[in-house]
Structure 1
């Protein structure tokens, strides 16, 4: 497909990036920590961590790993929410040449067992709150040799000791656990300063992450993201946001968990290159606490998913915050609904820009220009050095405006799935394009529009109905807080549309909502069933689990 999108790139954004200027993510890390040494890298619960401290502590962790005989390429699992310990262990593991396996702290024992066995992880760093889960999975683990445990307040000084006491003995948030020979992370970080450390030689082909897919459509698979993949995507994202930022001056809100690929690449790595301050939010689901925390700082950027932005807009204290320093807001992970984006612009005075990507692409594929004055409904323009093709089920490339499957090729596309050549072969075609499973189209100016997941399309009397379209209409009702649309079996006629709704007021009725939809949707698209719920099931990132509701 001809790269018509390049003509609409923001000023200063190149058509191609050169990822060879960095040998690895560690190279980016070292240069940034040296350049921004005295500046604050992270803020967590009122405490700050400077770039120089981040470099020193991660070096200690890497040295300890080497002292234990941990070789480059060894898989190290991290099971932590947004705490100082996460970037310290992340960069320490990478500096030792290891491959990081990110684990969702809310995993069940079965899910954790699958991921640790599949990745053949030999080391895990885990917050004690989730140690009982590891204990339950332990009898079936084949490769795990070293268990490192930390507590939420371990890097917060005196305040942290008080917090650990409260979490353990007052709030009872740490279930009883027993693990063989656990090592305390604090003893590693504090006692390894004199250990020798020899940086291994790393290149673009070395695997930086085994980043597991959500597993919502089957067993989670480990995407092999090389240092080359990650460096390329960081350079692509850096080139895109650089015109709107100032080195050493930006302040980004990180409410999404860093173990998720969106926040990992965007917040943790890209803003590392910018020397930004990064505010770590431990629990974004506690919206009032989140609003109180971000209200303390002159933040310039925030990333999130549609449900997070919607929750913030429904908090009365959020709308009274000072948004004078805010440069841009970036939404991804799921479709941003137009009513949410339009209200965000009214409240903050700044547009909400939508981006698109997936685990297998490190993750960014497209981003909207950050200087757009209004929400345009698209997922943006393909990033520099990215090829994009819209194809039908037979592999034929569609023309401008035609809907087909979004297919991607570029330096950010994964090497394949870990130990899974069959699934790898399924997702790549003979031209080397990765098939995303997402349906969309490209307009005449090169903007890409996401229609829906291929597997989520609802077939009503032979017509394709896209859930995103239904959800956007329902979400525009002033009494709707959240919505998800699914197809329900209707016998020979195929399916009918059902919506699950979280309403703002109990006075909203099924009939009122259906009548509202009739004003904007053709008859076969109008929901036939409405189910009101107090909340909708979500991933830990906040993405609504549509397929769980359908099941």
Structure 2
């Protein structure tokens, strides 16, 4: 199917229409070039400790040697990483990829139920976990295929005496490490030591080999693993590199990495794209501590930052932000959720740097559209389809619509996933036979090729850039014996963009909002928990008995606008 590509005429100078996918066969091949080119340049910084690219190559090689030489893991085996932004993450990530393993990124804040599903579904044989979250793993590991556990303390790589001090404070003073029992678990530092005596593996890897099982929610209510191959990831790195390359100076960039690296946006945009540029990823372990975040920003002449709308909004509203030095800042990229005009305009005024909105999905590794680096102000669009990427608007009948018409946004390109792990039925619903991806977003493309999101086709709720799927929330809540019926919808929220609201029909008349919220705390990660709960005598349904979420959303938004 041939489609119009008006966006090509709008590409800024230096951005190619196509990328050369054959530049690298795999992520490790790309990394080898980076290690060679930028050996003495700083690669990652966290809590005052800096690793350069030579150290990163050495430590990730030791970890790769441990995985293959000590644990006897082989190419294609799955390994889960359950860590916030600490130095151990890039070492474990790159070590796993260099060993030919498939990385399963895991949110450290998962509940036992969520963690068990993901580990079991992926068939993960090993996991690296920060000790703060090891108790959750210990509660479910018996119901998974995980046989090898590597545990690390937040401070482990900070050097003497800081490592001991940070770990002591977290364990004994702040009591942030719940007791756990994981017999046979190995310390991360011991794994590195053991791996140092093993050869660094060099498995043969091609574009077809899997690099990640990156989990995303589903309309079925169960998280699905998007199969992202080395080819998908290499493609997206070449694509994003082509778009930020013209404004970046190799070996000189410092990017603030506050979004968790286990999230696909941060993984590709920060970790890999800026590593390929020989940049420094300045890791923020706890971006929710906004005053602490501002203190970190005072220490470093940062040149780039990525984030979601809520992060930028939070910074703008934190005392001291307007006193920071923005003279080096030349790239700010917003994604993961819609960037609000008011936030973008305030950001430009405070920093002098345009907040560029980008768009992507876990299924597109993730970048699909990015605003040109040379736009002068926020334009309300998600930008132009990036190099080697086609976008089209389809009707409900799966037929292409003319420019300007509204329909479902479809994406095609080398960054589009292979499919969903062990879910051919879901894959068939999402990928057309000729490779077009159904995004589930309703959009339009104007005559200049700019893409505008109009609405979401799915009932997905977007909380601070994280996907929340109503079915998953409803399934968890229905496990409460006092609940007869439940519907979860997204309602506007000034802090997180959207928040989860529950409508509940009681089975037990004594059920209270507080009791149900406590139940949700035990069964759902923070961002999936309802902010508000409303009890109803009944829920609106279609003639076949399907709960009408849209009607509930509409009544919610009306009531929230009506003065009480």
Same fold (TM over 0.5): yes
**Is 2:529 aligned against 1:529?**
no
2:109 corresponds to which residue? Answer: 106
Q: Which of 145, 170, 180 is the matching residue for 1:177?
A: 180
**Separation in 1 of the partners of 2:213 and 2:100?**
13
Q: CA deviation at 1:54?
A: 0.2
Q: CA deviation at 1:271?
A: 0.4
2:284 corresponds to which residue? Answer: 281
1:463 corresponds to which residue? Answer: none
**Separation in 2 of the partners of 1:310 and 1:67?**
47
Q: CA deviation at 1:138?
A: 1.6
2:239 corresponds to which residue? Answer: 236
**Separation in 1 of the partners of 2:308 and 2:8?**
26
**Shift in CA distance, 172/323, structure 1 to aligned 2, threshold 3 Å:** same
Runs (4+) of structure 1 exceeding 3 A deviation are: 214-217, 480-494, 496-500
**Separation in 1 of the partners of 2:439 and 2:121?**
23
**Separation in 2 of the partners of 1:457 and 1:404?**
17
Q: Which of 306, 309, 317 is the matching residue for 1:306?
A: 309
**Is 2:364 aligned against 1:338?**
no
Q: 1:71-110: per-residue Cα shift (whole Å, max 9, x none)?
A: 1111011000001100000000000110000000000111
Query: What's the secondary structure of 2:328's corresponding residue?
Result: coil
User: Alignment length, in residue pairs?
Assistant: 488
**Is 2:356 aligned against 1:353?**
yes
Q: Is the 8 A contact 1:298 1:325 kept in 2?
A: yes
**Shift in CA distance, 180/5, structure 1 to aligned 2, threshold 3 Å:** same
Q: Which of 389, 394, 397 is the matching residue for 1:391?
A: 394
Query: What's the secondary structure of 1:527's corresponding residue?
Result: helix
Q: CA deviation at 1:399?
A: 1.2
**Separation in 2 of the partners of 1:173 and 1:499?**
41
Q: Is the 8 A contact 1:63 1:195 kept in 2?
A: yes
**Shift in CA distance, 90/216, structure 1 to aligned 2, threshold 3 Å:** farther
**Separation in 2 of the partners of 1:366 and 1:102?**
24
Q: CA deviation at 1:400?
A: 1.2
Q: CA deviation at 1:484?
A: 3.5
Q: Is the 8 A contact 1:486 1:498 kept in 2?
A: no
Query: What's the secondary structure of 1:125's corresponding residue?
Result: strand
Q: CA deviation at 1:527?
A: 3.3
| Structure 1 spans left out of the alignment, 5+ residues | 459-473, 501-525, 533-551
**Separation in 1 of the partners of 2:281 and 2:499?**
35
Q: CA deviation at 1:49?
A: 0.5
2:275 corresponds to which residue? Answer: 272
**Shift in CA distance, 111/486, structure 1 to aligned 2, threshold 3 Å:** closer
Q: CA RMSD in A?
A: 2.2
Q: Is the 8 A contact 1:76 1:123 kept in 2?
A: yes
Q: Is the 8 A contact 2:98 2:201 kept in 1?
A: no
Q: Which of 551, 554, 560 is the matching residue for 1:495?
A: 551
Compute the TM-score of the two structures, normalised by the length of structure 1: 0.85
Query: What's the secondary structure of 1:113's corresponding residue?
Result: helix
1:415 corresponds to which residue? Answer: 418
Q: CA deviation at 1:40?
A: 0.3
**Shift in CA distance, 318/531, structure 1 to aligned 2, threshold 3 Å:** farther
Q: CA deviation at 1:243?
A: 0.4
Q: Which of 86, 89, 97 is the matching residue for 1:86?
A: 89
Q: Is the 8 A contact 2:100 2:205 kept in 1?
A: yes
Query: What's the secondary structure of 1:416's corresponding residue?
Result: coil
Alignment of 1:133-532 (within 5 A): 133-141=136-144, 143-158=145-160, 159-215=162-218, 218-456=221-459, 484=498, 495=551, 527-530=558-561
2:37 corresponds to which residue? Answer: 35
| Structure 2 spans left out of the alignment, 5+ residues | 462-491, 504-538, 543-547
Query: What's the secondary structure of 1:211's corresponding residue?
Result: strand
Deviates more, 1:392-401 or 1:189-198: 189-198
Q: CA deviation at 1:140?
A: 1.2
**Separation in 2 of the partners of 1:244 and 1:25?**
23
Query: What's the secondary structure of 2:429's corresponding residue?
Result: helix
**Separation in 2 of the partners of 1:42 and 1:436?**
33
**Separation in 1 of the partners of 2:76 and 2:454?**
39
